[in-house]
Chain A
Amino acid sequence: MRYIIAGFIAVFGISLVSTAHAQPEPIKTAREAVIESIEKLDALKRDETIDPIERMKRETELKREALTNIIELSTLETENIREKLEDIEVTLAFEDFRIELVQATNGYVKYFDAAQNLLKGTESLDGIQTIAGQLKDWRILTYDPGIAKAVDLVLVFQNREALDIADQRFEKLSIELRRRAVRIRQSWQPLLLRASGDLDEAHRLNEAAIELLNEYLPKDEAAATEENTLAEVESEVVSDHTVRKFVEGSITKVKEAYGKFISLSDFLKR
């Protein structure tokens, strides 16, 4: 067990460095606090000299501290994704879903507040462990799938915004080339066509991602109000982050198009 925890701390520490750098400062600080409390808990487990009564007392304190920090971090992460959901512009078909997700994140924040209050009023180790268990189950059943959907929605429509900008740029560049470099049309036209091909492919990948997002939308009223079970929730979330893979592919194509735009802009100064 101790090796598992030590390994976990090592992996957790590495992932903190690799993924948290893009996060706002309060989230970074909250993650550091979580790591610190887990390290203390691990040190206590390794300490074989400690008195059993003192061990239980310390374990209660440290588990409370770790749980408090996890709830704090979860709250900050939820508020962060809620802001993104509020900022993003989606198509009409996804607007209700976006609002639904904003409301869901409000509910998550309330849940974390309630859990924090419950924890403050809980003295026993048993009580703290029970809260941790309930929180874990709730996260798996409700919170994690909800956040995964929210992240996917934000990514797909950020991708769409990027495509709109790239399309506008393509149009502007095409007009300028026809106006200022019409005599050397044969030199730039093949490259312009390839850039257009890149953008077509980027659109196709974004549409494929939107198609997958459609699976998140409620199929009918009965399905929407039905009580979710763990198995149902897991099957609802698109597996293996395919939505993200499509978005990533689309963005790569947009970047390739921009590479060609830059080469094309050279023809304007000749």
Chain B
Amino acid sequence: MHEQELITVVQLCRAVEPSTDFKERSRRLIAALPQKRPTWIEVVSRELVENLKFTFSLALASFILVAVFGGFAYWRNFIPGGRFTNESRELLSEAEQINLGIELGEAEYFTESAREMTLLLGEIRKPEEVPVDDLLDQIIF
């Protein structure tokens, strides 16, 4: 194709334009497409969800830490009916006092000590003399 011919085709194409129908249809299609840019509600709700996720993970970690280091005693506070009442705490301490007040161990000590001192004094005292009869028996037999 010669240069002059090419110029003529390009000049003809400049005059080409879409039909009115095509223009309308295309405009409607574009307008019907979903908007890419988020609205302010979307931004706020997304932020809120992220914050909640972070809060929950932090709470879970704290709970696990408390459960691990606080032991079973702390768990009782979460279990309905597991918490010590003032009454039961008072009862435990009263039972403990009663137990300490009765000195059965001390009574045992006095019995043991009496037995031991008798034995020790027996060791310190003058050895019992051998009866004459026993000595005579040894000489005779």
Contacts and interface: CB of A to CB of B under 8 A. Distances in A.
A139 B121 contact: yes
Contact of A147 (B114, B123, B124): B114
A135 B109 contact: no
A38 interface: yes
Given A254-B98, A265-B85, A155 B114 contact: no
Given A15-B116, A22-B109, A244-B107, A136 B102 contact: no
Contacts of A12: 116
A158 B126 contact: no
Interface in B105-134: 105-114, 116-126
Given A34-B120, A129-B125, A136-B118, A19 B94 contact: no
Contacts of B106: 22-23, 151
B38 interface: no
B104 interface: yes
A161 B123 CA distance: 41
B87 interface: yes
- Interface size of A as a range: 35 or more
B91 to A, nearest CB: 5
B85 A148 contact: no
B87 A139 contact: no
B10 interface: no
B79 to A, nearest CB: 12
B32 to A, nearest CB: 64
Contacts of A244: 104, 107
Consensus secondary structure, chain A interface? helix
Contact of B102 (A5, A8, A128, A159): A159
Given A38-B120, A136-B125, A255-B99, A151 B107 contact: yes
Given A139-B114, A148-B110, A262-B88, A248 B94 contact: no
Interface in A243-270: 244, 247-248, 251, 254-255, 258, 261-262, 265-266, 268-270
Interface of B: 81, 83, 85, 87-88, 91-92, 94-95, 97-99, 101-114, 116-126
11 contacts: A8-B123, A12-B116, A15-B116, A19-B108, A22-B106, A144-B118, A147-B114, A154-B103, A255-B95, A255-B99, A269-B87
Which 8 interchain pairs have the tightest Cβ spacing?
A: A136-B121, A133-B125, A129-B126, A132-B124, A265-B87, A258-B95, A19-B109, A132-B125
Interface of A: 5, 8, 12, 15, 19-20, 22-23, 31, 34, 38, 41, 63, 66-67, 70, 73-74, 77, 81, 84, 126, 128-130, 132-133, 135-136, 139-140, 143-144, 147-148, 151-152, 154-155, 158-159, 161-162, 165-166, 169, 173, 176, 241, 244, 247-248, 251, 254-255, 258, 261-262, 265-266, 268-270
